[in-house]
């Protein structure tokens, strides 16, 4: 089953057949594809190349489980719909959380900071006080008279989940604390994470290793927050969100770039989320290759670039590792006489994976 998600991307989606061995592959070639799956401690796993729209591996991906602070992905989506990043919020006593139990940014009543900084505190440091402040502030605008603002915000979270097609997930708090009835599936958290990554501000925040928030008010100060995602810094890792609670165990929604594609790895109920994630990434890199339409993969494109011709877009295609030699390039140069602009065909055997027009990129030789 393919991930149902929309990513803002210029990358050409690869047909699902690109990840399937050719029909005429030998038994030996097919056998080499059966790379042993890693031992994973998580109760639920979902792995997909969301740019290509291809599920790569899953286990119990549709089982509703406690999501812990991965809930804050949906909190961020709703806050972005309701609040301007530059508006300022004053922290209220009811925003605070028990620092001995919940992740927090050390906020105090009377602190004033921007919505942007609250989003950063929530997504970078998983701060529950920031999540509750965002929910209260946005909820005050959403709530009908006499309705608790945080309850109105949670209702908006579930409406957002419905808009995204999250049919098995249900949210009861903005900070993800263990609460009866609050569940999400690994697959549906991947859909929410893809939506988050389509927002430039949120995508920037979840990829930030350390963030400084400027707090005004009676206790003015600057607070430095470290990202709770210990895998940031690994090649290609760009987010997204951790979560931990006694009931949920260790949870992780991880986004990784391979070529121009984005992969999402979702783990719920793990006892070693980072070990699980590393094992899955190693397995993926052993089983697949991401081939990008650029001069690093195809040196002949450098020659075209020297003539001022480049592909109009730069897609990445996903293929089995043992079949990477089946990927080739067919160049049809421009023909002025026939008014053809020229194309490059990225092929898997005899199948076109992408047909991309060539465009001319000239340089002004007059120096203007």
Q: Report whether 53 contacts 191 (CB < 8 A).
A: no
The domain of 222 spans 44-287
As a whole number of angstroms, the distance between CA 159 and CA 174 comes to 13
What is the C-alpha separation between 222 and 214, in angstroms, rounded?
5
pLDDT at 11 over 80: no
Q: Is the pLDDT of residue 214 over 90?
A: yes
pLDDT band at residue 338, thresholds of 50, 70 and 90? low
Averaged pLDDT of the chain: 89
pLDDT digits (tens, 9 = 90+) for 130-151: 999 999 999 999 998 999 999 9
Q: What pLDDT shows up at residue 35?
A: 61
Mean pLDDT, residues 168-184 taken together: 98
Predicted local confidence at residue 8, as pLDDT: 25
**Which CA distances in Å does 149 have to 113, 154, 363?**
19, 9, 57
What band does 333 get if pLDDT is binned at 50, 70 and 90? confident
Domain presence at residue 295:
no
Give the mean pLDDT of 189-200. 98
Q: 341 pLDDT band (50/70/90 cuts)? A: confident
Dihedral of the alpha carbons of 201, 202, 203, 205, in degrees to the nearest 10 = 90
Structural domain contains residue 177:
yes
Report whether 205 contacts 120 (CB < 8 A).
Answer: yes
236 occurs within a structural domain: yes
Residue 76 within a domain: yes
Provide the pLDDT for residue 367: 38
Residues 18-59 pLDDT 10s: 333 333 444 444 444 446 788 999 999 999 999 999 999 999
Q: Which residues pair with 55 in a beta bridge?
A: 48
Contact 41, 272 (CB under 8 A): yes
What stretch of H or E contains 191? Answer: helix 186-197
In angstroms, how far is CA 363 from the centroid of its own chain?
36
Residue 114 lies in a domain: yes
Q: What is the DSSP string of 122-174?
A: HHHS--HHHHHHHHHHHHHHHPPTTS-HHHHHHHHHHHHHHHHT--S-B---S
Contacts (Cβ under 8 Å, ≥6 apart) of 205: 119, 120, 123, 124, 211
Residues whose CB is less than 8 angstroms from the CB of residue 100 and which lie 6 or more positions away in sequence, other chains included: none
What is the tens place of the pLDDT at every residue in 53-106? 999 999 999 999 999 999 999 999 999 999 999 999 999 999 999 999 999 999
Cα(240)–Cα(364) distance, rounded to whole angstroms? 42
Tokens of 214: 């400027």
Contact 74/170 with Cβ under 8 angstroms? no
Contact criterion met (CB below 8 Å) for 40 and 279: yes
Mean pLDDT, range 183-211, rounded to an integer? 98
pLDDT at 294: 94
For residue 307 the two structure tokens come to 């003539």
Report, as an integer, the average pLDDT of 127-132: 98
> Is 322 among the domain residues?
no
Q: Residue 194: give its domain's CATH number.
A: 3.40.710.10
Confidence of residue 363 (pLDDT cuts 50, 70, 90): low
Query: Does 315 map to a domain?
Result: no
pLDDT at position 6 over 70: no
User: What's the CA gap between 136 and 83, in Å, rounded?
Assistant: 11
Task: Give which of 180, 240, 204, 181 is closest to 50, Cα–Cα.
Answer: 240
Model confidence at 339: pLDDT above 80: no
Q: How far is the C-alpha of 341 from the C-alpha of 301, rounded, in Å?
A: 16
pLDDT confidence of residue 356: 95
Q: How many domains is the chain partitioned into structurally?
A: 1
* C-alpha 117, offset from chain centre: 20
For residue 86, being part of any structural domain is answered with yes
């Amino acid at each position: 089953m393919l991930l149902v998600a929309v990513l803002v991307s210029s990358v050409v989606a690869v047909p699902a057949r690109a990840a399937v061995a050719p029909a005429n592959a030998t038994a030996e070639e097919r056998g080499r594809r059966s790379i042993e799956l890693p031992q994973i401690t998580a109760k639920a796993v979902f792995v997909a190349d969301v740019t290509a729209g291809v599920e790569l591996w899953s286990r119990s991906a549709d089982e509703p489980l406690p999501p812990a602070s991965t809930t804050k992905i949906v909190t961020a989506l709703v806050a972005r719909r309701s609040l301007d990043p530059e508006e300022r919020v004053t922290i209220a006593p009811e925003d605070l959380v028990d620092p001995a139990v919940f992740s927090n940014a050390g906020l105090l009543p009377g602190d004033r900071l921007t919505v942007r900084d609250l989003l950063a505190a929530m997504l970078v440091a998983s701060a529950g006080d920031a999540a509750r402040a965002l929910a209260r502030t946005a909820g005050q605008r959403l709530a009908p008279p006499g309705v608790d603002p945080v309850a109105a915000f949670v209702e908006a979270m579930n409406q957002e989940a419905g808009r995204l097609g999250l049919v098995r997930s249900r949210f009861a708090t903005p900070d993800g604390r263990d609460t009866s009835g609050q569940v999400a599936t690994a697959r549906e958290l991947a859909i929410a994470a893809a939506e988050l990554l389509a927002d430039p501000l949120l995508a920037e925040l979840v990829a930030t290793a350390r963030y400084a928030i400027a707090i005004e008010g009676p206790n003015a100060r600057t607070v430095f927050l470290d990202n709770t995602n210990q895998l940031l810094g690994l090649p290609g890792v760009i987010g997204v969100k951790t979560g931990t609670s006694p009931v949920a165990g260790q949870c992780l929604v991880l986004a990784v770039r391979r070529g121009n594609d984005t992969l999402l790895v979702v783990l719920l109920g793990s006892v070693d989320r980072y070990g699980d994630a590393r094992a899955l990434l190693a397995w993926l890199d052993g089983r697949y290759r991401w081939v990008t339409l650029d001069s690093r993969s195809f040196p002949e494109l450098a020659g075209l670039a020297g003539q001022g011709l480049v592909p109009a877009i730069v897609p990445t295609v996903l293929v089995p590792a043992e079949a990477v030699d089946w990927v080739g390039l067919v160049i049809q140069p421009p023909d002025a006489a026939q008014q053809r602009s020229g194309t490059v065909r990225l092929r898997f055997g005899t199948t076109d994976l992408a047909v991309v027009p060539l465009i001319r990129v000239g340089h002004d030789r007059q120096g203007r």
